[in-house]
Chain A
C-alpha cells in the first residue's frame, strides 16, 4: 500500500512538473513573454524593465526555476485589470464556480441515474432508446448553444428566468442545466453499463430466485453496487465542471472562474489566464491522485495489480 501511494504521488508530481514545463515552454516559444506581461502600448524601456524584473534576460533554466518558485508559493503575479494578486482573485471567484458545479452535478445525477437505470432494466426498449438519444444529444450540443437557446426561450419569449448574473436561486437554473446536460449523458451511460454488469451477477440471480419482487432486486441489491463507479465519476466530473464552465459562465455572465478566464482573455490580462489554467490543471491532477488512492483503499486488487 505504502509503495503504491508513493508511486502514485510520484506520478502526480511528474504530471504537475510536466504541466508547469508545458505552460512555461509554450509562453516562451510563441513570442516574447514580456509583451504579454506589460500592458498594451508600453514603451521600450518598460519592456526592458520587465525583462530584468522577471529575469527574462537570464538563462532558460534559471528562468524556469524562478517561475517554479513563484507558482509553488502561490504567486501568479498581479492582474493588470483588477490590480490585485491573481491568486486572491481566483479564490474570490471559486465559491461561485463551486456553487454552479454543485447544482449542475445535482441536475446531471437526477437525470442521468434514473434514465440509466430505466435503460438497463429494459435493454432495447423505449427507455433505452430514449436514454441513448438523450445522451447523444447531450454530447453533440455545444453547451453554450443550449444556454443561448434557453435564454431565448425562457428569458426573452416567456420572461420566466433572469438571463444573466448571479444572486437568486433562479439565476442558477439555466446555467446549471446547460452545464449539466453534457455530464448527464456520461452519467447515464455509465449507470447503464454498470447496472447491466451488476444485473448479470450471481447474487442478483439468487435474489430473483428467492422470489423477491423485481423492484426490490433493482433498488436494494443492484442499484447500490452499481452506484459506486457512477459516484466516483461524478466526483472527478465535479472538478472538471469547475474548469470547463468557461463558456456557460460567459453566456450567463456568471461570476465564476470561467468568467475570470474569459475576462483575462478579452482584456489581454495574461497573469490571470496563466494562473487560472495552472490552477485548473493542478486541481484535476490532484483529484485524480485522491481518487486513485481511495480506490486502492477500497479495493486491494488495484494496489496489488498496479
Chain B
C-alpha cells in the first residue's frame, strides 16, 4: 500500500499552505461516514425530531402498520408496537442509546486496555507476565457469554451495560498496544527521555501514549460494531437496557411477539438500524486501519 508519492520531499520555494494535501482522504468511505454522522445527529436532536413520546403509547392504536400499508396512518409513519408506541420515535431515541452505549463502552474498554497494554509493554518483567496471562485468559473466554453472565448478576441498566461491555472487550487493545509499545520503547526519543531523567510515569504518559493513540482510535472504531451488536443481544435477552427505554435490541425482543402474526415492521426496522450502524462503523474502521496504521492490516 506504500505509495512513493506520499514520501516525496516537498520542493523548496512553495508555501506549504498553498498545497494542502488531501491525498490521505482517498477512498474515504463517504456513505458510511454520512450514515454515522446522521445517526449521531438524530441521537443528539431526538427530542426535537421524534413525533411522539417513545415510552408512552396509545393503547387504542396498537399494532398499526407503516403508513403505506392499509390500516396505517401518516400519524405513525413506521407503525406502532404492542403498547401503541410510535416505532419511528422509538427508533430515534434508540439511536441515542446505541450511540451512548457504544461510545462509552468503547471508551472504557480503550482506557482499560490501553493502560494495561502500556504498562505491560513498558514496565515489562513480571508486570508484563501477569497482565498478558490475564489478557490471554479473557481472550479465551466467550466474551458475549461472559457479558451475559455479568449483566445477569448486576441487573439491567444502561450504565451497567457500558461498564460490562467495557471490561469484557478491552483485551484486543491490551494485546495490540503492548506490541506497539515494545517497539516504541527502543526508539531514540524514549532513550533520550530516560537520559534526560524523566520518570517512568512521565515517559509513558508524555512520550508513549501520544504515539499509540492512532492505533487505539482505529481499534476503537472497529470495536464499535462489536459493542453495538453485544448491546442489542443483551437487551434482546432481557439483561441489557431495561424497558421501557427504547433500545433497538429491546425493540427486536418486543417485536418477536408479533412476528408470527406478520407484524414485520416491529422486527425489520430496528434490525435495519442496527445493521446500518454496524456496517458503517466497520467500513469506516477498515478504512482508518488501512489509512493510518499499516501494522494493523494483519488483524
Q: Which residues of A contact B (CB under 8 A)?
A: 11, 14-15, 18-19, 22-23, 26-27, 30-31, 36, 136-137, 139-142, 144-145, 148-149, 151-152, 155-157, 163, 240, 243-244, 246-247, 250-251, 261-262, 264-266, 270, 273-274, 276-277, 280-281, 284-285, 288
> With the chains together, A240 CA to B146 CA distance in Å?
13
Knowing A15-B137, A156-B262 are in contact, say whether A262-B146 is a contact too (CB < 8 A): no
Knowing A148-B271, A152-B259 are in contact, say whether A27-B153 is a contact too (CB < 8 A): yes
User: Would A14 and B140 count as touching, CB distance under 8 A?
Assistant: no
> With the chains together, A180 CA to B153 CA distance in Å?
30
User: Would A243 and B145 count as touching, CB distance under 8 A?
Assistant: yes
Verify if B93 is at the interface (C-beta below 8 Å from A).
no
User: Would B259 and A148 count as touching, CB distance under 8 A?
Assistant: yes
* Shortest CB distance A40–B (Å): 13
* Shortest CB distance A241–B (Å): 10
Closest to B239 in A: A265
Number of interface residues of B (CB under 8 A): 41
Chain B, interface SS category:
helix
Closest to A182 in B: B229
Report chain A residues within 8 Å CB of B261.
156
> With the chains together, A136 CA to B232 CA distance in Å?
18
Report chain A residues within 8 Å CB of B152.
264-265, 273
* Shortest CB distance B131–A (Å): 12
> With the chains together, A23 CA to B261 CA distance in Å?
41
User: Would A246 and B133 count as touching, CB distance under 8 A?
Assistant: no
> With the chains together, A148 CA to B248 CA distance in Å?
14
The one of B141, B256, B259 in contact with A19, judged by C-beta atoms closer than 8 angstroms, is B141
What are 30 A-B interface contacts by the 8 Å CB criterion?
A15-B137, A18-B133, A18-B137, A23-B149, A26-B153, A30-B153, A31-B153, A141-B271, A141-B275, A142-B229, A142-B233, A142-B271, A144-B233, A145-B232, A145-B275, A148-B252, A149-B267, A156-B261, A163-B259, A243-B142, A243-B145, A246-B237, A251-B256, A261-B145, A264-B152, A277-B146, A277-B148, A280-B141, A281-B142, A284-B140
Report chain A residues within 8 Å CB of B239.
265
* Shortest CB distance B82–A (Å): 15
* Shortest CB distance B259–A (Å): 6
Report chain B residues within 8 Å CB of A288.
140
115-142 of chain B: CB within 8 A of chain A: 133-134, 136-137, 140-142
* Shortest CB distance B128–A (Å): 15
> With the chains together, A148 CA to B272 CA distance in Å?
12
Report chain A residues within 8 Å CB of B141.
19, 280-281, 284
Report chain B residues within 8 Å CB of A266.
238
User: Would B140 and A285 count as touching, CB distance under 8 A?
Assistant: yes
> With the chains together, A240 CA to B142 CA distance in Å?
7
> With the chains together, A152 CA to B261 CA distance in Å?
9
* Shortest CB distance B279–A (Å): 4
